[in-house]
Structure 1
Amino acid sequence: MNSTGRESRHIGIRIDRPVEAVYAYASDPAHLPAWAKGLGGSIEKIDGQWVADSSPLGRVVVSFAPHNELGVLDHDVTLPSGETVHNPVRVIADGTGSEVVFTLRRQPGMSDADFRRDADMVAADLARLKGLTESA
């Protein structure tokens, strides 16, 4: 880590589907449990907020960027402690396919091992997204 900011890692995957199709699937919060296992096994809309039951973290609130034409899938995850983690995600056109890029930021006090584990979980989530969207 350096003194000017937190360490980031960009984790991406190429998906052999048009950007519009990948964005449409990934931007629907109801699909999150199928591919974003880091957020838990269920999500529901409660009082206008998307609430996920994330087993290691407890119940978290997930807020998404408004639907847009730019492929921005950013989302904030508000933990039970009240802390909010911002997760930048983009769906980028790549010829006739897409690339999905997740920017993982090391959280304060996070060990190297935990940062690697989070990166591995994000990579696994993106691989599930690829499988689901390519088989559609």
Structure 2
Amino acid sequence: MRSRHLSLVVNRSPEHVSAFASDPENLPKWAAGLAQSDVTRDGDSLLADSPMGRVRFTFVPPNDHGVLDHDVTLPSGETVNNPFRVIAHPEGSELIFTLRDRDRTNEEFDRDTDMVRADLERLKALLER
């Protein structure tokens, strides 16, 4: 299984970035690949409409290490683990998202890569304005 690591530097502290990025209310503002609607809670899970249909997702518990990993359960029932880190960088923070291809075609993997990159760029723009 192939992986791609997408990285982007944001001119904000890791604490600020982690708090904003992990807040479910902020997800529709920047994570169009995950949440295209308001996010609702269902126990420990979150629900939202996505380009893939209605998805259920769960973030790791809040932590001081910048770990924002989350599992997404797709409408098909498949659960995808998404490693996502916010680490200190000399210019603020570095976002690192790991995307795995899950047996997709090259075109599908490239499309998903472009979607995640656009989400990270939207997050950067929101945080730096």
Q: In the alignment, what sits opposite 1:22?
A: 17
On the 8 A contact 2:13/2:88 being kept in 1, the answer is yes
1:38 is paired with a residue whose SS is coil
On the 8 A contact 2:9/2:91 being kept in 1, the answer is no
Name the CA distance, whole Å, in 1 between partners of 2:44 and 2:22.
16
Name the CA distance, whole Å, in 1 between partners of 2:13 and 2:70.
22
Shift of 1:95: 1.8
Greater gyration radius: 1
**Aligned partner of 2:5: which letter?**
H
What do the CA deviations read for 1:73-107 (whole angstroms, capped 9, x no partner)?
00000012211000000001002500000000011
Name the CA distance, whole Å, in 1 between partners of 2:64 and 2:22.
12
Matched, 1:91 2:106: no
Matched, 1:122 2:120: no
Shift of 1:48: 4.2
Q: In the alignment, what sits opposite 1:49?
A: 45
**Aligned partner of 1:127: which letter?**
E
Shift of 1:37: 0.3
Q: In the alignment, what sits opposite 1:134?
A: 128
TM-score by length of 1: 0.90
1:102 is paired with a residue whose SS is strand
Structure 1 gap segments, 5+ residues each: 1-5
Identity %: 55
Counterpart of 1:40 (choices 26, 35, 39) is 35
Give the ranges of 4+ consecutive aligned residues of structure 1 lying more than 4 Å apart after TM superposition.
none
On the 8 A contact 2:5/2:99 being kept in 1, the answer is yes
1:82 is paired with a residue whose SS is coil
Name the CA distance, whole Å, in 2 between partners of 1:122 and 1:51.
19
Matched, 1:80 2:65: no
TM-score by length of 2: 0.94
Counterpart of 1:112 (choices 106, 114, 117) is 106
Shift of 1:49: 2.4
Q: In the alignment, what sits opposite 2:98?
A: 103
